[in-house]
Amino acid sequence: MITGVVHEGLDRCLAKFGGPSERNSILPTQLERDQRLHTFTLSSHPSRVKLHHCPGGFAELHFRSPENTRQTTPHHPLFSFIGDNTRLLDFSSAVKDKGVLITGAGRGIGKRLAMGFAAAGARVGLLARSQAELDVAKLEIEHAGGVTLRLRADVRDFEQMCAAVDRMQAVFGGTHVVICCAGMLGPIGPITQIKLDAWRDAIDTNIMGVVHACRAVLPQMIDRRSGKIIALAGGGSSTARPYVTAHAVSKAGVVRLVESVAEEVRDFNVQMNCMDAGASYTSMTDEILHGGQMAGSAELEEAHKVRVTGGTPPERQVQMAMFLSSPRSNHISGKLLLATEDPRKLEHQNMLPDSFTLRRHGKS
């Protein structure tokens, strides 16, 4: 089986590879680049083509070729654009050989960031609950030349998080950057109809997961007087999000948590920030679509749009995360930043106390 990277529009890809005579003759590296990365699978059977759209936002080309067909080693999509994107190269050198722990790294945005950081030479600790997702992520990254460590753990369990940090210390010599991506959408629907246990689980995962990560890693960062913590703060962190209230409340809570703890560790040269990765096609998108009218018309409309466009380009997400992991962002802490903002401008921007934070506007 040959696994490759697709760098062009889905329709053109299917057209190019749809013919039986071409399915083994065109290599993935010959594909033209586009703004989106798509994943699908082509069967060697001459009469059918299978399309698998993965929630993680990336998909892979799988050619089931006959025996004796020459196999070609591919490049992972993120490894490919890291090499071509000069803006990413601006910050990638800062994470080379650093220990980077990413929670929720088995899929979605966490997996994208793990691929990007591994491509830049970081030693990435992949933390997730699903062993299967961890195995796939590790294989994909290491197949492309990255260095990873699988850490099966539940962010809701503080002891498991401490064990993961200890393992990072033993294998990679420490944790220099933590990116908290583990999260769940929570129940969908009016507050009068949702299951309270599911609502509570989302709060526990989204907020306490970040608390546990910070509590586990900050002692070594303080001792070293150096460290970076980034927490994802998606939809609901700065605006209302009806019908997905658990997610909105938890993300707003994470923003205030990070801002508060950032002040506690400021004198130890540890910076903490939140990154709004923007709308992205993940498993949460499918949950909203599956929820139908219970999610509300605004959520459904946005989910359909993201499903078609893919949302925020992954290179922008990786670029901002790398900037916030580099010394060039040392003057930024306790802030909420969008992945679509320009790091080069932020690098030289004077950070006012109330800028890029959650504040009450207007006067009484």
Q: Are 76 and 124 within 8 A, CB to CB?
A: no
pLDDT at 221 over 50: yes
> What percentage of the chain has pLDDT greater than the value 70?
74
Cα angle 327, 328, 334 (rounded to 5 degrees) comes to: 85
121: which 2 tokens? 């030479």
Could you read off the pLDDT of 168-210 as tens digits, one per residue?
999 999 999 999 999 999 999 999 999 999 999 999 999 999 9
How far is it, in rounded angstroms, from Cα 210 to Cα 143? 30
Q: Look at residues 151, 152, 155, 161 and name the one whose alpha carbon lies nearest to residue 219.
A: 161
293: which 2 tokens? 């009218």
Q: Are 193 and 244 within 8 A, CB to CB?
A: no
Give the DSSP letter string of 288-309.
HHHHGGGG-HHHHHHHHHHHHH
Look at 355 and 363; give whichever has higher pLDDT: 355
What amino acid occupies position 330?
N
Could you read off the pLDDT of 185-196 as tens digits, one per residue?
999 999 999 999
DSSP single-letter state for residue 326:
S
Look at 233 and 17; give whichever has higher pLDDT: 233
Q: How many residues does the chain have?
A: 364
User: In this structure, what are the phi and psi dihedrals at residue 179, rounded to the nearest 5 degrees?
Assistant: -120, 115
Give me the pLDDT at residue 88, please: 55
Q: CB neighbours of 308 closer than 8 A, spacing ≥ 6?
A: none
Look at 198 and 240; give whichever has higher pLDDT: 198
pTM for this model (two decimals): 0.78
> What percentage of the chain has pLDDT greater than the value 90?
67
Could you read off the pLDDT of 306-337 as tens digits, one per residue?
999 999 999 999 999 999 999 999 999 999 99
Give me the pLDDT at residue 54, please: 40
pLDDT at 39 over 80: no
Helix (H, G, I), strand (E, B) or coil at 102: strand
The structural domains of the chain, ordered by start, are: 1-74 (no CATH), 79-347 (3.40.50.720)
Strands 2-4 and 61-63, by their bridges, are antiparallel
How far is it, in rounded angstroms, from Cα 91 to Cα 26? 34
pLDDT at 215 over 50: yes
Instruction: Please give the average per-residue pLDDT across 98-117, as a whole number.
Output: 96
Could you read off the pLDDT of 65-102 as tens digits, one per residue?
333 333 333 344 555 544 445 455 567 888 999 999 99
244: which 2 tokens? 């997905």
Give me the pLDDT at residue 361, please: 73
Could you read off the pLDDT of 279-306 as tens digits, one per residue?
999 999 999 999 999 999 999 999 999 9
Give me the pLDDT at residue 364, please: 58
